[in-house]
C-alpha cells in the first residue's frame, strides 16, 4: 500500500513523520506551510493523488471545498488536527479534530500517536510517550519543564531531515524518557542567552495601538515568535494581545489572558488558530503595498524587460 502524509512544518508537524516512520510503514510525506494547503491539494487532485492508496493529514486545517472534493473522489484519508477553527470538520467520519484530550490541550502529534498506537502497539513505549508529551507542551505553550524548548532549539539547529533522523534513532532506544546529548545541552544554554537578549531588544521596538476594539502591541519579528509573543503579553497586562509581524511569511497573534480569544481577532484578517495562539497570512499583494509605501514611485518590472 502506498501512503502519503501531509503535515505542517513546525515541531508538531514534523513529529508525525517520525512516529509514522517508527511503525515501519512505507510512506512519502509533504511538509507544507498553511498558505500552501490549497495549492498542494489542487495538485494532488489534478494528478489523481499520484496513486496513493492512503493519505494522512496532521496539524493542518482543510477547507469545506477540499473536503467535498475528497468525498467526491473517494479518497482514503484520515485527518488529525487540534485547531478550534477546524472543529466544523468533525462532521466528516474520517476527521478527528480535538482541542483537548482528557481536559488537557492537545496537538496534532498526540492525536496521531493515539491513532497509530492502536494499529501498531509496539510504538506505545515510555520514551515515545514522553516525546509526544514534550511536543504537546511546546505546541500548547503549557510547560512542566524546559525540555520542549530544548527540543525546538535542536530542531532549528539540525534542520528537518537531520532532526528526524536523530530523534528517530533515540526513540528506538530503551530509555524511559527523551534525553538531550551533552553537546545539545551546552548549545541550548548559549541559545537561551541569545533569545533573552532578542526578547529584550524587540520589546523596546514594540508599539501599542487600538485595533478593532483590542489593545494590541505590535512588533516586527522574524524569529522566536512564540516566546516573544508570550513574553511581551505577560510583561504588558495592559494589552489584550501581541501581533508579531514577519513580512516574509505571516502575522502571529499571542495572549496570556483567559478572556481574550486571538483566533477571533485573527479571523478578521483571514486567519485562525487557537485561543491564545493564532496567525494570518501576509499575501503578495500586501507585500507589494509595503514596497510602494517604502519607495513611493514604484512600477512593476517584468523580468523580460531586464
Pairing of strands 77-81, 95-97: parallel
Per-residue pLDDT tens for 229-263?
999 999 999 999 999 999 888 899 999 898 999 98
pLDDT value at position 304?
52
Is the confidence at residue 284, as pLDDT, over 90?
no
Task: Report d(CA 249, CA 34) in Å as an integer.
Answer: 10
Per-residue pLDDT tens for 154-210?
999 999 999 999 999 999 988 999 999 999 999 999 988 999 999 999 999 999 999
Residue 182: Cβ within 10 Å count? 7
Is the confidence at residue 305, as pLDDT, over 50?
no
Query: Which runs of consecutive H residues, i.e. helices, occur in the chain?
Result: 11-22, 37-46, 64-72, 108-119, 126-140, 147-158, 160-171, 182-205, 225-235, 262-268, 284-295
Task: Report d(CA 161, CA 18) in Å as an integer.
Answer: 10
Is the confidence at residue 228, as pLDDT, over 60?
yes
Place 306 in a pLDDT band, splitting at 50, 70 and 90.
very low
Burial (CB count within 10 angstroms: exposed 0-12, middle 13-18, buried 19+), residue 94: middle
Residue with C-alpha cell 499575501?
A: 283
Q: Tell me what percent of the residues of the chain surpass a pLDDT of 70.
A: 98
- SS3 category, 224: coil
Domains of the chain: 3-180 (3.40.50), 206-291 (3.10.310)
Q: Tell me what percent of the residues of the chain surpass a pLDDT of 90.
A: 76
Per-residue pLDDT tens for 58-88?
999 999 999 999 999 999 999 999 998 899 9
pLDDT value at position 34?
87
Average pLDDT of the chain is 92
Amino acid at each position: 500500500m502506498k501512503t502519503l502524509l501531509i503535515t505542517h512544518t513546525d515541531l508538531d508537524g514534523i513529529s508525525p513523520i517520525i512516529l509514522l516512520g517508527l511503525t515501519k510503514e512505507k510512506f512519502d510525506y509533504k511538509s507544507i506551510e498553511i498558505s500552501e494547503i490549497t495549492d498542494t491539494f489542487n495538485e494532488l487532485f489534478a494528478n489523481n493523488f499520484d496513486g496513493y492508496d492512503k493519505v494522512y493529514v496532521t496539524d493542518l486545517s482543510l477547507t469545506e471545498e477540499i473536503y467535498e472534493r475528497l468525498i467526491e473522489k473517494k479518497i482514503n484519508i484520515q485527518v488529525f488536527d487540534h485547531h478550534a477553527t477546524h472543529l466544523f470538520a468533525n462532521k466528516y467520519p474520517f476527521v478527528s479534530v480535538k482541542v483537548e484530550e482528557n481536559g488537557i490541550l492537545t496537538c496534532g502529534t498526540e492525536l496521531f500517536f493515539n491513532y497509530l498506537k492502536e494499529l501498531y502497539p509496539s510504538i506505545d513505549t515510555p520514551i515515545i510517550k514522553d516525546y509526544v508529551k514534550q511536543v504537546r507542551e511546546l505546541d500548547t505553550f503549557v510547560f512542566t519543564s524546559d525540555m520542549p524548548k530544548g527540543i525546538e532549539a535542536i530542531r532549528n539547529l539540525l534542520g528537518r531531515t537531520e532532526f528526524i533522523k536523530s530523534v528517530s534513532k533515540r526513540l528506538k532506544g530503551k530509555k524511559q524518557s527523551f534525553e538531550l546529548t551533552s553537546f545539545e545541552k551546552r548549545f541550548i544554554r548559549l541559545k537561551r542567552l541569545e533569545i533573552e537578549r532578542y526578547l529584550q531588544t524587540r520589546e523596546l521596538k514594540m508599539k501599542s495601538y487600538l485595533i478593532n476594539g483590542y489593545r494590541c502591541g505590535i512588533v516586527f519579528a522574524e524569529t522566536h515568535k512564540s516566546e516573544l509573543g508570550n513574553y511581551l503579553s505577560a510583561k504588558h497586562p495592559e494589552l489584550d494581545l501581541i501581533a508579531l509581524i514577519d513580512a516574509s511569511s505571516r502575522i502571529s497573534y499571542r495572549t496570556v489572558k483567559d478572556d481574550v480569544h486571538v483566533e477571533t481577532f485573527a479571523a478578521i484578517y483571514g486567519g485562525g488558530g487557537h485561543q491564545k495562539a493564532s496567525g494570518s497570512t501576509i499575501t503578495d499583494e500586501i507585500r507589494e503595498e509595503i514596497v510602494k509605501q517604502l519607495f513611493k514611485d514604484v512600477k512593476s518590472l517584468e523580468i523580460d524587460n531586464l
